[in-house]
Structure 1
Amino acid sequence: MSGTDAEPDSNDDPVRTWCPLVTPFDDDEAVDHEALATLVDHVREGGVEGLVPCGTTGEFASLDAAEYRAVLETTVDAAGDAPVMAGTAATSVAGTLDRVETAADVGADVGLIVLPYFHTANDPEGNAEFLRRVADDAALPLYLYNIPACTGQAIAPDVVESVADHDRIRGLKDSSGDFNYFVEALRRTPNDFDCYQGFDSYLVPGMLQGGTGGINALSNAIPEAFAAAAEAAAAGDVEAARRIGSEGIAPLFQQCVAHGFAPATKAALAERGVLDGTTVRPPLVELGNDTRAEIGDAVDTALDVVDSADLD
């Protein structure tokens, strides 16, 4: 979706499924833009609504500034009418604003921001002030990204609550894996504040608890499963939603937990024939043939579960 005139922020028809896109690399570790465009088509055809380039699964921290901009441009160009939420993580207010400005310049719709990593706050109010300062001057609406395993600190529920009324902060992606945290975020924020699950296996329970949907790595590889699970949960078809989540998504998600999100997701895409290669950049490494075979089996199982689900 080019530009910000149609922001993905309608409570009447929320975006339930977002894909944090992998960044395909060729054998020489150069960004493969043709493969990225093909991946966008695959995800959209599978029913996932929104696209998130340059997130954790997209190996944003391994991209230089020119590559970062180019990945955003390719995604926006390929997105069609799909909303684009650009990963805009950085360690300073100025750096984050610069990335948000880049995302706005290429036509993204919203930005996804994290707390500073490496140096963490000495008081939670410092984190709240960081988020407010970014939001005050941001060129796009923003979503908070809680991923303490990578940032060294969580966006405390008190902090989420204190900034949730900022007119540029629209919601939260929670990748903490702490479901109680997610419930607290839901409880403490307004009804029009979007709360997305970043843990793939929590998509269904998160929605049944009142969450908006998910931003889930494996929607790269099996978008049909995430689209079907979210649709079933939103429609109140709990049995179908739980079956897709527990029998289809969860086993493959365990491969991501065990082997890393970018390597496992790229392996799943290669096993499905969407990507030709599974190249990642250091410090990540590609997975071995045995693990890839296990991932391929899990992909097949997930697709079989979706095909056999009795959806209302």
Structure 2
Amino acid sequence: MSDATTSIDLPSTASLSAMVTPFDADESVDHDALAHLAAWTIDGGIDGLVPCGTTGEFAGLTREERRAVIETTVETADGRVPVVAGTAATTVPDVLTFVDDAAAVGADGALITPPYFHAANDPAGNRSFFERIAADSALPIYLYNIPSCTSGPLTPETVEALASNDAIRGIKDTSGDFSTIERFVARTPDSFRVLQGYDDHFVGAQVMGASGGINALAGVLPGAFQSLCGAIDDGDIGRARGVQRDVLSPVFEATLEYGFAPAAKAALCERGVLDRATVRPPLVELDESARAAVAEVVQTALSSLN
């Protein structure tokens, strides 16, 4: 079992895939499809896998399903890349239960949102929430700032305070706000990984000092993210901007319009990676028109990448 003092080996500019959870026609988890997706993503050059996040429909999975999804992902990764598992919940004991489950099946880290539904009445509430988790976590922790889906944003002051905790290694920011990324970078040590979660801002965030991203489209267009990271590491911001503009941004706009999990699954079907784009309620599959729109932008993106 891993522990919160174990380091996670990531390159200086890292791209991790926020994975979808494939379902059969009856909405049960399709573990064969999941293993195929994980292997395909790794072969595409991605630096890490993140199951059971937002795009993975974690809120629609049971505890047993979450553990099984993480286990399949870890077994497929087989040590080639780290697995940072989504372990979000609304209470400290529940988060720690999910962290323990992830650690027991071999995950390398845990990605945790602030509580959802109940808003912290003061930023100190979010700080206390994460400090209590960190005190007993079996895995290194990555904070997940996603204000649109939780009780509110993690403030730069809160993140600065939490970054001094040895168990808390970084943050995924999906606020869509460049100023927030800049403040996180400025207020945290170099060893603290600030990872962009808003795909359309990947290049801009790296210019501001971020060190990679955890992105839904990294699981759809891994080659594009491999190219982006290589261009950034080479200091070729012009080439990186071209990949962002011509390949990623059009597909990201489609995922924003149609929903990340449904659109990402439709895109993976278009690429021949998945056979089905099944989602669970309250999400719905894309209609014929939306599927055609996603297919078009994916094919255009692939043409631009080549």
Q: TM-score, normalised by structure 2?
A: 0.96
Of residues 52, 55, 75, the one that matches 2:53 is 55
Percent identical among aligned pairs is: 50
User: 2:87·2:112 contact (CA, 8 Å) conserved in 1?
Assistant: yes
State the secondary structure of the residue aligned to 2:107.
Answer: coil
1:200-227, CA deviations, whole angstroms, 9 ceiling, x for partnerless residues? Answer: 1111111121110011101111110111
Match of 2:156 in 1: 157
d(CA) in 2 for partners of 1:65, 1:41: 24
Distance 1:32 1:122 in 2: 40
Instruction: Provide the residue aligned with 1:238 in structure 2.
Output: 237
Deviation, 1:152, is: 2.6
Where does residue 82 of structure 1 map in the other structure? Answer: 81
Q: Is the 8 A contact 2:120 2:151 kept in 1?
A: no
Q: Hey, what's the Cα distance between the residues in 2 that align with 1:88 and 1:234? A: 31
SS of the residue corresponding to residue 144 of structure 2 reads strand
Report the Cα distance in structure 2 between the residues aligned to 1:152 and 1:258, rounded to whole angstroms.
Answer: 23
Match of 2:177 in 1: 178
State the partner residue of 2:115.
116
Shift of 1:7: 3.3
Which whole-Å CA distance do the structure 2 matches of 1:14 and 1:205 have between them? 16
Measure the CA separation in 1 of the matches of 2:12 and 2:30: 31
Contact 1:8 1:14 in 2 (8 A): no
Q: Is there any run of 5+ residues in structure 1 with no aligned partner, and where?
A: 308-312
Cα offsets for 1:143-175 (capped at 9, x unmatched):
000001110301111100111110000000001
Alignment of 1:84-163 (within 5 A): 84-163=83-162
Q: Distance in 2 between matches of 1:113 and 1:137?
A: 14
- TM-superposed CA distance for 1:37, in Å, is 0.4
2:36 is the alignment partner of 1:31: no
> Counterpart in 2 of 1:264?
263
Contact 1:7 1:83 in 2 (8 A): no
In the alignment, what sits opposite 2:203? 204
CA distance in structure 2 between the aligned counterparts of 1:50 and 1:288, rounded to whole angstroms: 31
* CA deviation profile, 1:3-36 (whole Å, cap 9, x unmatched): 56973246xx346000011000010000000000
CA distance in 2, matches of 1:128, 1:160: 8
Aligned to 2:41: 43
- Aligned to 2:186, the other structure's residue is in SS state helix
Q: Which residue of 2 aligns with 1:310?
A: none
Q: Which moved more, 1:169-178 or 1:287-296?
A: 287-296
Aligned residue in 2 for 1:273: 272
In 2, Cα distance between equivalents of 1:33 and 1:138 = 27
Distance in 2 separating the partners of 1:209 and 1:235: 16
Amino acid aligned to 1:289: E
What are the superposed Cα offsets for residues 180-211 of structure 1, whole Å, 9 maximum, x if unpaired? 11111111111111000001111111112111
- Once superposed, what is the RMSD of the aligned Cα atoms? 1.4
C-alpha separation in 1, matches of 2:127 and 2:61 = 28
Aligned to 2:289: 290
What is the number of residues matched between the two proteins?
304
* Aligned partner letter, 1:229: L
Shift of 1:305: 2.1
Equivalent residue number for residue 7 of structure 1: 7
Does the CA-based 8 Å contact 2:266-2:286 persist in structure 1? yes
Residue by residue, what CA displacement relative to the aligned partner does 1:59-82 show, whole Å, maximum 9, x if unpaired?
000001111111011000001221
Q: Report if the CA contact (8 A) 1:224-1:303 is conserved.
A: no
Shift of 1:140: 0.5
After superposition, give the CA deviation of every residue in 1:91-141 in whole Å (9 maximum; x if it has no partner): 011111111111110000000011111111111111111111111110001
